[in-house]
Structure 1
Amino acid sequence: MKTTYEKVTSSHIELGAVSIFDAVDSPDPEVFHEAFSQLNDAAAGIVGTLIADARFPGNTVVQICREGGASGFYPNFIVMPLLRAATAKGGAREAVSWLEKVFATTSAQGKIFHAIWGAPVDNEIALTEEISIVPIAALPDSAIKTWLTEHRVNSPVSSMLDFISPQSALIVPFYVPRVLHKPGIDPDPSSVEYLRVNDLLNDATLALSAVGPRVTTLAVQWFAFDDPDLELTAFGTGSRGQLMEILPSQPPQYPKLDGVEAADIVRRFLNLPADVKKKIRVTLNRLQQAQKRRTLGDRCVELSTAFETLLGDNKATEMTHKIKVRSVRLLGGSPEIRRHNAAVMGWMYDARSKLVHTGEDVTKGKAINGEVLSPAVLVERATSICTEIVKRLIREGVIPDWADFDILA
């Protein structure tokens, strides 16, 4: 073991002067696979030695449970974490002691990190009793954090996300009730709690988009044990991303979150009745897509869907009129504000119709209350109206019965 450790620690992969231990923690698949191959070649013989050692479970396969399942550990994948532990602990003897500690561990606490674009913060903010948001810089050092803050993808398919790193991350504590798992012997690890937490994080991220408005987008999610010794068991980086249907047309740069409003909106959104949350979730998704779209006509199409999800009914007649009147009545304000909002809504629907029926993007603005507004400004005003309606309904916790609203408001 000692000779192997000394051999491996002096190795560098061919893709550059990168230590083999840094390479096996790289999120870059090419670097990882090259390092893993070299590592296994250099460490041949370690597995057999461990299997023969009575302190360890022989040929019995043991996996490490994390947040959503289990991954390979012993004996087939032990080389990487064992040599990583040797580096962290200072030698081969210390690595063996580390392995004994891991096998003696039953349960453990960790955290799920959910890095996002679009919601910068200066300090930690408690959004709920379970969820907090922190600056990326405040996260524990890790290969994923380094990759997020320093790595820029050189790809022929680029987007505005390439030009700015995620600014913050949601954090949720996560308890792993059984760290060691023997396939075929132990019951399969449950993913129920992880799925609950994942849905919670996705909903909280979406709710933050109403604090602005802003586009809040998941960059990457990962889990880490609080105990650094357990974290050494990781096989690679173990991160998750998401497939994006629409990439933003502008860099995701927004003002710092208002912590008080963010916590209020997130908590209220998460506690909404299921039927109300379902409609607001669709609306927020369309509101985000409207901000990602490049052309103004496309933005108006997305906005009209967002409005109709919340303010529409089962009758398709006079939809434009109903959406305009209901949005104006719902927000209220002085006669001047109401006329302004009605004019913005009317312009937005005209722009939507022009694109849908003629294929042409909107080019003309509109004079409202003596002020000539450009198409870009009008779209921003419509976006703000939609955002304010969403926040109002989140705070009220109910969507009005529109038949009653139309005659009683």
Structure 2
Amino acid sequence: MVTLKHRDVLINYVEDAVEKFTTLYLEKCEDGFPQDVAKKICLHEVSSAVIAKLEDERELQSSVSRMIQSENGSSSFNPNVIAQKLINKGFVTGSGEIAVSWLEKVLDTKQAAGISVMAIWGVRVDRAVRLGNRVLLVPINELPDSYQKRWLLETDWLQSKVNSVSSPFMEAPTAALMVDAVVEPLFIDIGNNTKPNNTWELNQELLDDARLGLSMLGPCAPLQAYSWFNFVDSDIAEAQLGAARSSTHIEIMPLRIAESGPLDVDLASSLVGKYLSLEGNDKQRLKLALDRLNQGLRRFKPGDQAMEISIALETLLADGGTENTYKIGLRAAILLGGDGEAMLRNRAIVGGAYVMRSALVHSGAVPTEIKVPRLGKLPACEVARRAASICSPH
């Protein structure tokens, strides 16, 4: 257990700094400074004595290059940074002793538990669902408290959408994918650290695979909103300089986010879990098909939808060579099963999607109606919708 050598003296220094900070902070606020700006200015002005006392502590000597790691980055943890955190902690709690005890706890921590999170649009759940061995799909409200979660729920999406995201996103995402993670060691010396930390990329890849896997349900087109990492222990989270979040560019932006109906949680757990357990070429092949299906569901024009869904079907059912329309339609019908009439209809829908794809490629336009054997003329959008359901019949 870390116990600072001069802890009693440090407590007094922190409490003196808190008293000065309180007076200055109120003056700045009365002068019209925004509260966050006033706080930063005042913490800087009153921290010099606390910094000097921290530099006397053996635990903090030669800590100029000490960094506190998270899964997706690191930030400084030296006396300059710690002093302001101690004063702020003392101000919030009203106790210098609580502030110093917090510092001792953080310094004593060798590893810390956290979670990688990917908030998603397009899926709604009312309870946690396990997808495979590691991934959980949860309602946003069930995520552990964090700055990122609060930002997500408190943002006025309708008012801020022009500056943040495109027009389909007028409300916060209601679901998130998450996976447990451990940061070890918590502290590193940036000058001597040569070990790359790639757990963030690996965990986000796993969460993105789960997002694509959910496309099988509905089918639907889940999209990433924001991703972040946060420590489970709020004391460790407070030691960081800030809380980061990230998002990826959405190349095909839908006109609106169409959420799936009530999620069959047992089916989601089984199907997505099996997909996540795949390896090698089987995994890559299904991932490509799911990516194309997801993109197809985001497309607006029926011809573009049919193009993407045809690629998904070919990825799943083709084995090279020619006559793909015939082979894919036949194989899809056999796999879906049903009576003879149902199999013939499904085969015909696949053929109709290929007619749309061919028209788009060769003439640049798709007829508004497609003639489908046994079904007559159907709107192109209906053919695309049924083809998507054949590609993912859950």
TM-score when normalising by structure 2: 0.84
Q: CA deviation at 1:230?
A: 0.7
Q: Distance in 2 between matches of 1:118 and 1:80?
A: 41
Comparing 78-87 with 60-69, which one deviates more in the overlay? 78-87
1:283 match:
289
Aligned residue runs from structure 1 range 8-407, under 5 A: 10=26, 19-20=35-36, 38=41, 41-43=44-46, 45=48, 48-54=51-57, 56-61=59-64, 62-78=66-82, 81-151=85-155, 152=157, 153-155=160-162, 159-185=166-192, 187-315=193-321, 317-366=322-371, 369=374, 373-388=378-393
2:18 match:
2
Change beyond 3 A, Cα 1:214–1:183: same
Q: Distance in 2 between matches of 1:35 and 1:287?
A: 51
Aligned length: 373
Q: Distance in 1 between matches of 2:42 and 2:69?
A: 23
Q: Distance in 2 between matches of 1:199 and 1:167?
A: 21
**What letter corresponds to residue 128 of structure 2 in structure 1?**
E
Change beyond 3 A, Cα 1:234–1:46: farther
Tell me, what secondary structure is at the counterpart of 1:155?
helix
2:10 match:
none
Comparing 125-134 with 300-309, which one deviates more in the overlay? 125-134
Structure 1 segments unaligned to the other structure (5+ residues): 21-33, 392-409
Q: List per-residue Cα deviations over 1:264-307 (Å, max 9, x = no partner).
A: 01211111231111011000000010011111111111111111
Q: List per-residue Cα deviations over 1:161-215 (Å, max 9, x = no partner).
A: 4213211112222122211112224x44542444332222121111111111111
Comparing 65-74 with 75-84, which one deviates more in the overlay? 75-84
> Quick check: 2:133–2:273 contact (8 Å CA) kept in 1?
no
Q: Distance in 1 between matches of 2:111 and 2:342?
A: 58
**What letter corresponds to residue 178 of structure 2 in structure 1?**
I
Q: Distance in 2 between matches of 1:100 and 1:93?
A: 11
Change beyond 3 A, Cα 1:80–1:256: farther
Q: Distance in 2 between matches of 1:9 and 1:361?
A: 66
> Quick check: 2:146–2:230 contact (8 Å CA) kept in 1?
no
**What letter corresponds to residue 307 of structure 2 in structure 1?**
V
Q: CA deviation at 1:135?
A: 0.6
Change beyond 3 A, Cα 1:83–1:172: farther
Q: Distance in 2 between matches of 1:326 and 1:271?
A: 24
Q: Distance in 2 between matches of 1:260 and 1:182?
A: 46
Q: CA deviation at 1:370?
A: 5.3
Change beyond 3 A, Cα 1:160–1:46: farther
Q: Distance in 2 between matches of 1:306 and 1:35?
A: 55
> Quick check: 1:295–1:361 contact (8 Å CA) kept in 2?
no
> Quick check: 1:69–1:189 contact (8 Å CA) kept in 2?
no
> Quick check: 1:68–1:190 contact (8 Å CA) kept in 2?
no
Comparing 243-252 with 273-282, which one deviates more in the overlay? 243-252
> Quick check: 2:54–2:83 contact (8 Å CA) kept in 1?
no
**What letter corresponds to residue 328 of structure 1 in structure 2?**
A
Q: List per-residue Cα deviations over 1:302-329 (Å, max 9, x = no partner).
A: 11111111222232x2222222222222
Q: List per-residue Cα deviations over 1:343-370 (Å, max 9, x = no partner).
A: 2112111111222222223311446645
> Quick check: 2:25–2:42 contact (8 Å CA) kept in 1?
no
> Quick check: 1:71–1:235 contact (8 Å CA) kept in 2?
yes
Q: Distance in 1 between matches of 2:255 and 2:316?
A: 26
What RMSD, in angstroms, separates the aligned Cα atoms of the two structures?
2.8
Change beyond 3 A, Cα 1:39–1:283: farther
Aligned-residue identity in percent? 33
> Quick check: 1:36–1:80 contact (8 Å CA) kept in 2?
no
Structure 2 segments unaligned to the other structure (5+ residues): 1-16
Q: List per-residue Cα deviations over 1:62-104 (Å, max 9, x = no partner).
A: 2111124432222454355434433443344432332222112
Tell me, what secondary structure is at the counterpart of 1:373?
strand
Q: List per-residue Cα deviations over 1:1-58 (Å, max 9, x = no partner).
A: 22453257548889x98642xxxxxxxxxxxxx6896466545526742543325413
1:407 match:
none
**What letter corresponds to residue 164 of structure 1 in structure 2?**
E
